């Protein structure tokens, strides 16, 4: 009678080890794809720039800036950074100016500096708001209001600027993107109207969304999501309450923050000597670049926004070398302060957490 078969050590776990290694490779591949694509996009755009103007001409435009130009740009940049917090103060009752700045600058650092930065920035905002003992309903309503008001402006501005410029004067690509933006705006407005129509409607939508998320999560062995309808009803009530009391503050704060970014662009245009571009054309170019940058996979729309801004300004009659210099300068003066201020804010928040023993 044959004795029991003794398997060599590790034989039984070999399949599990192989599966684990395959999961590790898939995880590494997913993490590598976006950075590689982002780098390819940036390199490709860098190769395209000389088709418009030589790097030497671009450098001459940038190096011609004097102290007054830099002071004007710095003032506009400081104003833009300082206005980033108030929209969150309006959307989240009880949030102080200090904490709103910590929130916006830390999350913006993550968003602009990291691949898949939007997801990282979103997670950072949730972690910070929850660390300040804000309820999930308040946090959810804050996200809805800040994101909604920002996207509303991002869509309305290009559509409005097209109307001001006149359909015959605007670039066909710009008209197409603006038309798509208008369709998206209508679709979002319909979705919001359906959700906010009644508590019963919000509960039904939340329950359906919860089942969908649970089904998808089950494929990855995630626990089911329960109470989605109740959470959406609570978020709806909180959002309506904030809008009823604070919509003027939220609107003014959001518009002010958006316009200060545009002010930085105007300062760069003046400093690099771009002529022949009207205020409305500059606004249209800036809003177009932001619109296409919001759907880009590169961190903060890096490269894609510059290409959109450059193409629009040149189409409106700007000198190629000066326009490219403006786009590059605009990226630098909006990116570097984000890294510096965002890093300082992240450090302050981390120390605050350590003092609270978290």
Q: What is the pTM of this model?
A: 0.72
What pLDDT is stored for residue 178 in this prediction? 63
Q: Confidence class of residue 309 from pLDDT cuts 50, 70 and 90?
A: confident
DSSP assignment letter at 300 = G
Q: What is the pLDDT of residues 27-63, one digit of tens each?
A: 444 444 444 444 444 444 444 444 444 445 555 666 6
DSSP track, 27-90: HHHHHHHHHHHHHHHHHHHHHHGGGTS-HHHHHHHHHT--HHHHHHHHHHHHHHHHTSSHHHHH
Q: What is the pLDDT of residues 183-241, one digit of tens each?
A: 766 776 777 777 667 777 777 777 777 777 677 666 666 777 666 677 777 777 778 88
In this structure, are residues 330 and 271 in contact, taking their beta carbons and an 8 Å threshold? no
d(CA 213, CA 342): 33
Between 270 and 307, where is the model more confident?
Answer: 270
What pLDDT is stored for residue 33 in this prediction? 47
């Amino acid at each position: 009678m044959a004795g029991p078969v003794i398997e060599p050590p590790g034989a039984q776990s070999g399949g599990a080890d192989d599966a684990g290694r395959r999961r590790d490779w898939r995880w590494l591949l997913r993490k590598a794809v976006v950075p590689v694509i982002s780098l390819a996009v940036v390199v490709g755009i860098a190769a395209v720039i000389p088709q418009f103007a030589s790097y030497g001409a671009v450098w001459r435009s940038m190096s011609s800036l004097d102290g007054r130009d830099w002071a004007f740009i710095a003032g506009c940049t400081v104003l833009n950074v300082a206005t980033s917090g108030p929209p969150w103060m309006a959307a989240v009752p009880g949030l102080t100016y200090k904490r709103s700045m910590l929130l916006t600058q830390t999350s913006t650092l993550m968003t602009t500096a990291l691949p898949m930065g939007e997801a990282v920035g979103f997670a950072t905002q949730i972690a910070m708001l929850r660390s300040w003992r804000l309820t999930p309903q308040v946090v959810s309503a804050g996200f809805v209001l800040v994101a909604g008001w920002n996207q509303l402006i991002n869509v309305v501005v290009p559509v409005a600027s097209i109307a001001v410029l006149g359909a015959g004067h605007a670039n066909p690509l710009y008209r197409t993107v603006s038309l798509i933006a208008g369709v998206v705006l209508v679709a979002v407005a319909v979705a919001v109207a359906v959700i906010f129509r009644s508590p019963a409607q919000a509960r039904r939508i939340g329950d359906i969304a919860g089942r969908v998320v649970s089904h998808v999560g089950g494929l990855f062995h995630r626990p089911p999501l329960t109470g989605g309808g109740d959470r959406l009803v609570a978020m709806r009530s909180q959002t309506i309450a904030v809008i009823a009391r604070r919509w003027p503050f939220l609107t003014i704060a959001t518009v002010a923050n958006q316009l200060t970014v545009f002010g930085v662009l105007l300062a760069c245009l003046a400093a690099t000597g771009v002529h022949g571009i009207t205020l409305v054309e500059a606004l249209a170019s800036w809003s177009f670049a932001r619109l296409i940058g919001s759907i880009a996979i590169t961190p903060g729309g890096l490269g894609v926004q510059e290409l959109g801004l450059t193409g629009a300004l040149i189409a409106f009659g700007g000198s190629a070398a000066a326009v490219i210099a403006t786009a590059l300068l605009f990226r630098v003066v909006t990116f570097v302060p984000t890294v510096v201020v965002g890093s300082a804010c992240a450090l302050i928040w981390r120390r605050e957490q350590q003092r609270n023993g978290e």
